[in-house]
Amino acid sequence: MFFQITSIVILLIFYGCYFLKMLTQKKKGIQTDQIGKGKTGLVKVIEVIMKIATISVPVAEIVSILLDLSKLPSFVRYIGIIIALIGTGVFICSVITMRDSWRAGVPETDKTELITAGIYQISRNPAFLGFDLVYIGIAMMFFNWVLFLISIFAILIFHLQIVNVEENHLLKVFGAEYLNYRNTVNRYLGRKHYR
């Protein structure tokens, strides 16, 4: 029961942050959900699959939590709690730091600014990193093959979104400013050090 309650609280905080940010931006006239909108070709395919994945994972998580499915020892489940909590914190920091430039999906028409401060000084993609860590943490708490495979699939799709959609978009919109940032901060975690 402890793992079930803890994971539900983590998911409520994580997704609560996500939907609260969307509602706050909607009140300002900002369309946060840009996934697949106005896109064509590979970009649209990746974003639509990403949307399906981001709906599938929480469904698999909730079923796994309610059925208390777990094949791993307790110490692994406790590590899962820590990883999921770190992921939630990373995600919340990323959303707060992005302010009104935060979007789900690449905005084709919105003008946003390139955020390089705060948590973005050590990760170019902390929101995705947050998702990944929460998915991994919950999968460790309630390990079963369905949840594991759906979570890994979603993490891979996020990576494709970053590499094939977001990075190209940022390079096109921000040019040298983004190139300099990309050459300074790692995709997921850490800064690049040159000698």
Average pLDDT value for residue range 168-194: 91
Residue 104 backbone dihedrals phi, psi, to 5 degrees:
-100, 110
Q: Is the pLDDT of residue 186 over 90?
A: yes
How far is 129 from 93, CA to CA, in rounded Å?
11
Closest alpha carbon to 159 in 122, 128, 120: 128
Q: What is the pLDDT of residue 43?
A: 86
How far is 103 from 95, CA to CA, in rounded Å?
9
How far is 169 from 160, CA to CA, in rounded Å?
13
Express each pLDDT in 115-172 by its tens digit.
Answer: 999 999 999 999 999 999 999 999 999 999 999 999 999 999 999 999 999 999 899 9
Q: What's the predicted TM-score (pTM) here?
A: 0.91
Closest alpha carbon to 135 in 94, 182, 91: 91
Q: What tokens appear for 105 in the block?
A: 């999906």
Express each pLDDT in 33-91 by its tens digit.
Answer: 767 677 788 888 998 999 999 999 999 999 999 999 887 899 999 999 999 999 999 99
pLDDT band at 182 (very low <50, low <70, confident <90, very high): very high
Residue ranges per structural domain of the chain: 2-104+111-182
Q: What is the pLDDT of residue 194?
A: 62
- CATH for 2-104+111-182? 1.20.120.1630
